[in-house]
Homo-oligomer: A and B are copies of this chain.
Amino acid sequence: MMIVIMEKNASIKQIQDILQFVEDSACTPHVSKGDENTVIGIVGDERGLVSDKIQTMSGVEKVIPTQKPYKLASREWKKDNTVIRVNGIEIGGNRITIIAGPCGVESETQLLEIAQIVKDAGAHILRGGAFKPRTSPYSFQGLGERGLELLAKAREKTGLAVITEVVNPSQVELVAQYADILQIGARNSQNFALLQEAGKCNKPVFLKRGMMSNLEEYLMCAEYIMANGNYNVILCERGIRTFETSTRNTMDISAIPMIKSLSHLPVFADPSHATGKRSLVPPVARAAVAAGADGLMIEVHNHPEKALSDGAQAILPEEFFALMQNLKQLSVVVGRSL
């Protein structure tokens, strides 16, 4: 159903034109004459085609859909939380899942050292970028397939599942051969060609929120993946772009419980990218768990001053250990475990 609000001064002719059009489209109109405006409810426009056209007709002030544009991603379509099993971990279940590791895979030594550290601290999944989307063409762009091989090696040594980013539709298959979970980054969250391809692969997709996507648009991005057959989508709030510049982005903390009410998919938070500042990562990580996040993605580096990307937001091993202890207690307060 959708609702058409006519302009205050809409003529009878304009209203009749709408009604005619609705009937010609095999839909049913319901007219209500208000004190000021006439309102027309339209039933039967399942594909939204009528809506698009009525918006362009004269006398129409606005057209309001009464249904959400996403279906498969909605809580209405699936009441129970989606739980995704990866490597023995249940993502989206009662237990909170921690993904940790360096921003980028830089070398075998770096990756293996950090992998061991985050495993020892209790993390469940290892992160590390092999293909890095960088704002400058002159910055380190990642090790590419060599990075994927190192991730596989780290998995073998530590037993941790691994997640890494894919940036090109043509590489989805390649990345899916190495990674347990594919990550799609914020800048590619509306790269529909990539979403479609990820929807055809058989690995779970960790889809970050675009820094300018509202929640409806964000859930439509998940819908793109699901509509292509892959129902294992994990969402992640990582900060949106606002006028505030003292942090890299603005963590939209309310989005966590809000998405949980709109969708059955697991929702994570990434305090590293949201804040861009090491000192803010622990408090914002705690806040995300307190707000109901199903997991966290955190950048950890043992030598951040030597990191080839994002060193300023990576926390140190000892900070990560302390945070994990803290999160264990906190998860109990919110009825979860870690």
Chain A residues proximal to chain B, CB less than 8 Å: 1, 3, 5, 8-9, 30, 32-37, 39, 41, 43-44, 46-48, 52-53, 55-57, 64, 66-67, 69, 76, 133-139, 167-170, 187-188, 190-194, 196, 210-212, 214-217, 220, 223-224, 227-228, 240-247, 250-258, 261, 274-275, 277-280, 283-284, 286-292, 304-309, 311-312, 314, 326, 329-330, 333-334
**Can you pick out 10 interface pairs between chain A and chain B where the beta carbons lie within 8 Å of each other?**
A3-B3, A8-B76, A37-B66, A48-B139, A52-B311, A169-B169, A188-B191, A215-B244, A256-B283, A257-B279
A136 touches B220 (CB 8 A): yes
A258 touches B286 (CB 8 A): no
Candidates B8, B67, B224, B251; contact of A137 at CB < 8 Å: B224
Chain B CB within 10 Å — which of A138, A244, A275, A333 has the most?
A244
B214 touches A244 (CB 8 A): yes
Determine the chain B residues whose CB is within 8 A of the CB of A246 once the complex forms.
214-216, 255, 258
Candidates B66, B245, B304; contact of A56 at CB < 8 Å: B304
Determine the chain B residues whose CB is within 8 A of the CB of A135 once the complex forms.
69, 190, 217, 220
**Which residue of the partner chain B has the closest CB to A185?**
B190
Q: A187-B191, A223-B136, A283-B292 given as contacts; is B244 within 8 A of A255 (CB)?
A: yes
Determine the chain B residues whose CB is within 8 A of the CB of A253 once the complex forms.
251, 253, 284, 287
Determine the chain B residues whose CB is within 8 A of the CB of A190 once the complex forms.
133, 135, 187-188
**Which residue of the partner chain B has the closest CB to A326?**
B333
Report the minimal beta-carbon distance from A93 to chain B, rounded to whole angstroms.
18
**Which residue of the partner chain B has the closest CB to A242?**
B242
Candidates B41, B69, B311, B329; contact of A333 at CB < 8 Å: B329
The 9 A-B residue pairs with the shortest CB-CB distance in the complex, in nearest-first order: A1-B34, A212-B212, A290-B290, A287-B287, A286-B290, A187-B190, A168-B193, A287-B291, A253-B253
A133 touches B242 (CB 8 A): no
B244 touches A240 (CB 8 A): yes
B241 touches A212 (CB 8 A): yes
- How far apart are the CA atoms of A170 and B256 in the complex, in Å? 35
- How far apart are the CA atoms of A283 and B291 in the complex, in Å? 4
Determine the chain B residues whose CB is within 8 A of the CB of A311 once the complex forms.
52-53, 55-56
Report the minimal beta-carbon distance from A332 to chain B, rounded to whole angstroms.
8
A1 touches B48 (CB 8 A): no
Candidates B216, B280, B287; contact of A258 at CB < 8 Å: B280
B283 touches A257 (CB 8 A): yes
Report the minimal beta-carbon distance from A92 to chain B, rounded to whole angstroms.
17
- How far apart are the CA atoms of A214 and B250 in the complex, in Å? 11
**Which residue of the partner chain B has the closest CB to A199?**
B137
